[in-house]
Amino acid sequence: MTQPTLDLSPSPGDEAKSTTCYMCACRCGIKVWLQDGKIRYIQGNREHPVNQGVLCAKGASGIMQHYSPARLRKPLLRVGERGKGEFREIEWEEAFAIATSWLAPIRERNPDELAFFTGRDQSQALTGWWAQQFGTINYAAHGGFCSVNMAAGGLYSTGGSFWEFGEPDWEHTRYLMLWGVAEDHDSNPIKLGLGKLKARGAKIVAVNPVRSGYGAIADEWIGIRPGTDGLFAFALVHELLKADRIDLDYLVRYANAHWLVIDNPGGADDGLFARDAEGNALCWDLSPHPNPPPQAGEGGERATRAGGGKAVDANAIDISPAVVGNYALPDGRKARPVFQLIVDRYLDPRYSPDAVSERCGIPADTIRRVARELAEAAFDSNFSLPIAWTDSWGREHASMQGRPVSMHAMRGISAHSNGFHTCRALHLLQLLLGAIDAPGSYRYQPPYPKPIPPANRPARARKADGTLDAGPLGFVHGPEDLVVDEHGRPRRIDHAYSWAYPLSAHGMMHTVIRNAWAGDPYRIDTLFMFMANMSWNSAMNTRETMHWLTDKDESGNYRIPRIIYSDAYASEMVAYADLVLPDTTYLERFDAISLLDRPISDADAASDAIRHPVFDPATQVDEDGKPRDVRGFQSALIELGARLGLPGLVDEDGSARYRDYADYIVRHERAPGVGLLAGWRGEDGNSEGKGAPNPGQLQRYIEHGGFWHAPIPESARYYKMANRDYLQWAQGFGFVANDKPIVMQLYSETLQKFRLAAQGHGAHQPPAEHRERVATYFDPLPIWYEPFEHDQTSRETFPLNAVTQRPMFMYHSWGSQNAWLRQIAARNYLYLHPDTGARFGIADEDWIEVGSHHGSITVQAKFAANVQPDTVWTWNAIGKRRGAWRLAKDAPEGEQGFLLNHLISDMTPKGDYANADPVTGQAAWFDLRVRIQGSESRKADARTGESGPQFPPLAFPEAGERPLRYGAGLRSRRD
């Protein structure tokens, strides 16, 4: 009998195109299989360094993102009242003409009247530069409401940062602590890494009020009370100091533990580092005396009594620097090493496990045990890698000492009003363990580490050609870098870099709409936003935000005169625009995942990548079969810049310098030889990092699967902050200006400079109303304080914490309109512990009313025991406004789904500042306190079965059902 011929591995399609996923921020490599000109299948790219072939459900659902009925089709001009969603379609020429007619007079008059803010896009290397060419200081991306506490906390401490800019040493770590980690960034690399740890039997500890996602597979879940992570970290520090389980050698080699801090209370130099005539920080060298330096906790007197020694350059080698004690400098001033200050502060009994246990919701014995386990993992394994390396001072080492304990942290830490210092507290803990960029620990990803603070400062002045003297965003080094007027008042519309939020390195997008409405500090003309759902799930105080966007003055004119918005989909924010520039889907565009922006490097290699069009958007039709006429936002921005004649975007004859974004990616040079992409540079394409533009660069990326990957030499892979081979390698790529070691800052002199200013010293001092705040929160060592919404009265009136987090299976509101992902969840609940239900007389699936100091909402409760009992939580961005995203008007997302944001104020309960961190301005989403309202309202709402508040449906037309039947045609061909 003849055996049938079976094709066991049929090709999934006619051809595959390799590009980069954009279904979340992780940026995995994908292969998009096409059949008959349609997407047949999306596959993970096995060669890609980020995901090594792994694809998540979101990535696979990119098909429905591309064919989403919510896609915009053509440019839109508002015809009805703002906020209703009534538009007429226009041609691109008209759209550009309108935008140019609005923006050209602004640039002529005062470029700051344009507020240009972008959301979760990945093209800040372009958008920030464009703002600089336009000349507006009012630019930022979304980091201010997302991650800046983490970024600034890290960059001002270690020169690097958690999030997707560093990673645990997945190959060697034996103990991993995840602090407030969500599943929406660095998603597949973390999953792959956790798999490795599980296979090796390493311990994973998740510190999070909610046990979801990664926490669900952790060996231990510590259900901490929100906002108390810093206190927990200090208790661990306290225990490590008490047990003398710290790495003093590491602290002196790589951090500023031994730098001398001037002790001159009331003086203008109090708390600054003692420096020599060349500006080098000093330490106290005990070398003439062979006695070893005293150990932690032994106090300063002994060191002083031991006598002798002298102040020397703290960066010198072959010295015996004192780490504790009190010393007299040659000029008579007193000084103490940083480590002495650390001992004095964190050995204080107020940070003992017993003292913090109740507030953190963690048993004191658990804290003591975790401290013990951390120390055992770090110090008792005697683990090292047999890799020879040379440090920055030329000393050769035969091996790399391991410290196999690592930490990773994200938004759960960051989105609090004490988040900056909490992040610093975690870095302090890591440093005491010697666990930054040592084998087994947290590791930097190139281009990090950077000098501390990074060199680029925010723009403050405009040049003769109207461009800014620097990029609008940067890092302040002291009060003189603030963007304030001669009276110390904010100059930016978001108040970033003002005395209220001095280190706001990512700007403060969450304050823009209120301030633009209020004319604080001045009126703007045009608000230009991209990919930021600021009238809904990206806004605090959602109801009032909608009001501010539509409010009119006494003359009947909108208080925010003009709004231009670009998005690929009919999001809630589209309804609030006057002019809509329709973006492409991520499969129709060029993008650069650039080392100048948010790279995809890993700890062993520098990487960048591109997206390139799988489809020409002109060939794609909407769900009604009508052709789409959309353009990648970045290309539209470049064209708009050329029409405005912005320097950098036009040639000398006034013609457009760049054809589109693809052309810009290839030909633009930020500095000689440095462009958006680092791979295949030079005219022949044989250079990496630096080199002349290569006209064939994008083609080379396409041929190589869409990414470029440059492994770090083996001798340079650890101790990057002081590894000569690494720093020279990094210098070659332009990541650092020189190969000098980067000294990690346990104690921040930058912060102390602000505190001194608040105490009345120096040429730049805060206005009276900010003095106490700056003096309090600009502590040079990490501090912990109650989040602003957590004071005693608030805790009594509103007894529950409430947090909103991203689902692992969706990415912001983008993902929650996706037909396939909606099948996982089409509405959210308010999740609470069954004990909490019993405490408030709530049954599972009761409709309840929840209130905060800001407002109340009606939601359906659901019991889940994976939450700390004083906390309730829900998923963000599933709840939608009716009519948005072209969902049916009775879609569950609008009827039963809800936004917790309606309860979150954009101001502190006192109303004096933005609901944000006082150092960085990071939005404090997770400070929220709530109470369950009385039972009568619950009964009333149970009858409706509808969440509240509800708003009038947007006028976008509803989509049909056709996309849900996607794939039927492909099946018939197979059959």
Q: Does 194 bind ligand SF4 (CB under 6 A)?
A: no
Residue 555, both tokens? 């003359």
* Identified binder of ligand SF4 from the candidate list 16, 32, 39, 56, rule CB under 6 A: 56
Closer by beta carbon to ligand SF4, 45 or else 157: 45
Q: Taking the complex as a whole, how short is the minimal distance between the CB of residue 441 and ligand SF4, in angstroms?
A: 24
- Whose tokens are 């869409």? That residue is 706
CB of 59 to ligand SF4, least distance (A): 3
Amino acid symbol at 497: Y
Shortest distance, position 641 Cβ to ligand SF4, whole Å: 29
Handedness of CA 69, 70, 71, 74 (dihedral sign): positive
Give yes or no for residue 28 binding ligand SF4 (CB under 6 A): yes
Do the strands 114-118 and 139-140 form a parallel or antiparallel pair, or are they unpaired? parallel
CB of 964 to ligand SF4, least distance (A): 21
Give, for 580, the enclosing helix (H) or strand (E). strand 579-582
**Beta carbon of residue 408, minimum distance to ligand SF4 (angstroms, whole number):** 16
According to the binding rule CB under 6 A, does residue 187 interact with ligand SF4? yes
Query: Which of 27/822 has CB closer to ligand SF4?
Result: 27
Instruction: Single out the segment in contact with ligand SF4 by CB under 6 A; choices: 16-24, 289-297, 715-723, 732-740.
Output: 16-24
Instruction: Name the 3-class secondary structure at 192.
Output: helix
26 binds ligand SF4 (CB under 6 A): yes
Residues touching ligand SF4: how many (CB under 6 A)?
13
Q: Does 59 bind ligand SF4 (CB under 6 A)?
A: yes
Check binding of 21 to ligand SF4 (CB under 6 A): yes
Cα-based distances in Å from 696 to 662, 671, 679: 11, 20, 11
Of 191 and 790, nearer to ligand SF4 (C-beta) is 191
**DSSP assigned state of 391:** B
DSSP codes, 560-597: S-EEEEEESB--GGGGG-SEEEEPPPTTSS-EEE-TTS
Nearest to ligand SF4 of 26, 218 (CB atom): 26
Specify whether the CB–CB gap between 886 and 538 falls below 8 A.
no
**Which two three-digit tokens encode residue 614?**
């799988």
Check binding of 55 to ligand SF4 (CB under 6 A).
yes
Told to check if 182 binds ligand SF4 by CB under 6 A, we report no
Whose Cβ is closer to ligand SF4: residue 794's or residue 813's?
A: 813
Tokens matching residue 632: 């990648």
Q: Which residue, 23 or 341, has its beta carbon nearer to ligand SF4?
A: 23
Nearest to ligand SF4 of 23, 574 (CB atom): 23
Q: List all residues 6 or more positions away from 300 whose beta carbon is below 8 Å from its beta carbon.
A: 324, 325, 326, 336, 340
Candidates 56-64, 249-257, 415-423, 769-777: pick the segment binding ligand SF4 (CB under 6 A).
56-64
| Residue pair 930/798 in contact by the 8 Å Cβ criterion | yes
411 binds ligand SF4 (CB under 6 A): no
Q: Tell me 843's DSSP state.
A: -
Beta-carbon contacts of residue 6 (< 8 Å; ≥ 6 apart): none
DSSP designation for 193: H
The rounded radius of gyration (Å) of the Cα atoms in the chain is: 28
Burial class (CB in 10 A: 0-12, 13-18, 19+), 702: middle
Residue pair 257/323 in contact (Cβ under 8 Å)? The answer is yes
Is the distance from CB of 185 to CB of 414 less than 8 angstroms? Answer: no
Q: How far is the CB of 357 from ligand SF4 (least distance, A)?
A: 37
Residue 639 sits at φ, ψ, to 5 deg, of: -65, -40
| DSSP conformation letters of 932-944 | E--HHHHHHHHHH
Smallest Cα–Cα separation from 335: which of 322, 345, 346, 347?
322
Using a 10 angstrom Cβ sphere, with 0-12 exposed, 13-18 middle and 19 or more buried, the burial of residue 365 is: exposed
Is 148 among the residues that bind ligand SF4 (CB under 6 A)?
Answer: no
User: Which residue, 611 or 720, has its beta carbon nearer to ligand SF4?
Assistant: 611
CA distance 655 to 254: 51
Minimum CB distance to ligand SF4, residue 679 (Å): 20
Which of 18, 19, 23, 666 touches ligand SF4 (CB under 6 A)? 23
Give Cβ neighbours of residue 789 (< 8 Å, ≥ 6 apart). 417, 798, 853, 908, 909, 915, 924, 927, 928, 929
Closest separation between CB of residue 602 and ligand SF4, Å?
A: 14
Nearer to ligand SF4, 45 or 752 (CB): 45
- Assess 474 for contact with ligand SF4 (CB under 6 A): no
CA torsion, ordered 691, 696, 698, 701, to nearest 10 deg = -80
For ligand SF4, the closer of residues 13 and 59 by Cβ is: 59
DSSP category for residue 436:
B
Q: Distance (Å, rounded) from C-alpha 53 to C-alpha 602?
A: 16
Name the minimum Å distance from CB 37 to ligand SF4: 23
Q: Which residue is nearest to ligand SF4 (CB)?
A: 59
Nearer to ligand SF4, 784 or 875 (CB): 875
Smallest gap from residue 280 Cβ to ligand SF4 (A): 45
Range in contact with ligand SF4 (rule: CB under 6 A) among 48-56, 290-298, 660-668, 711-719: 48-56
- Which residues are registered as beta bridge partners of 32? 17, 42
Kindly state whether residue 181 participates in binding ligand SF4, applying the rule CB under 6 A.
no
* Dihedral angle sign, alpha carbons of residues 260, 265, 267, 270: positive
- Binds ligand SF4 by CB under 6 A, chosen from 24, 341, 468, 678: 24
Element (H, E) at 29: strand 29-35
Q: How far is the CB of 28 from ligand SF4 (least distance, A)?
A: 3
CB of 172 vs ligand SF4, minimal distance in Å: 24
Nearer to ligand SF4, 26 or 924 (CB): 26
What does the alpha-carbon distance between residue 513 and residue 400 come to, in Å, rounded to a whole number?
51
Q: How far is the CB of 701 from ligand SF4 (least distance, A)?
A: 17
Applying CB under 6 A, which of residues 18, 51, 526, 745 lies at the interface with ligand SF4? 51
CB of 213 to ligand SF4, least distance (A): 12
CB of 50 to ligand SF4, least distance (A): 7
| Per CB under 6 A, 813 contacts ligand SF4 | no
When binding is defined by CB under 6 A, the residue of 38, 48, 58, 880 that contacts ligand SF4 is 58
d(CA 126, CA 133): 10
| Contact residue for ligand SF4 among 16, 18, 27, 863 (CB under 6 A) | 27
Rounded Cα gap, residues 575 and 541, in angstroms: 18
Measured from the CB atom, the residue of 186 and 639 that comes closer to ligand SF4 is 186
Provide the minimum distance between the beta carbon of 58 and ligand SF4 in the complex, in angstroms, as a whole number: 4
User: Cβ distance 386 to 886 under 8 Å?
Assistant: no
Q: Measured on CA atoms in the order 698, 702, 704, 708, is the torsion positive or negative? A: positive
Q: Which of 188, 352, 550, 813 binds ligand SF4 (CB under 6 A)?
A: 188
Closer to ligand SF4 at the Cβ: 52 or 381?
Answer: 52
Alpha helix positions (H), 61-147: 62-66, 92-109, 124-134
User: Least CB distance from residue 617 to ligand SF4, whole Å?
Assistant: 21
Is 64 among the residues that bind ligand SF4 (CB under 6 A)? no
Residue span binding ligand SF4 (CB under 6 A) among the ranges 17-25, 118-126, 365-373, 966-974: 17-25
> Which contiguous run of DSSP H or E holds residue 252?
helix 248-254
Residues making contact with ligand SF4 (CB under 6 A)? 21, 23-24, 26-28, 51, 55-56, 58-59, 187-188
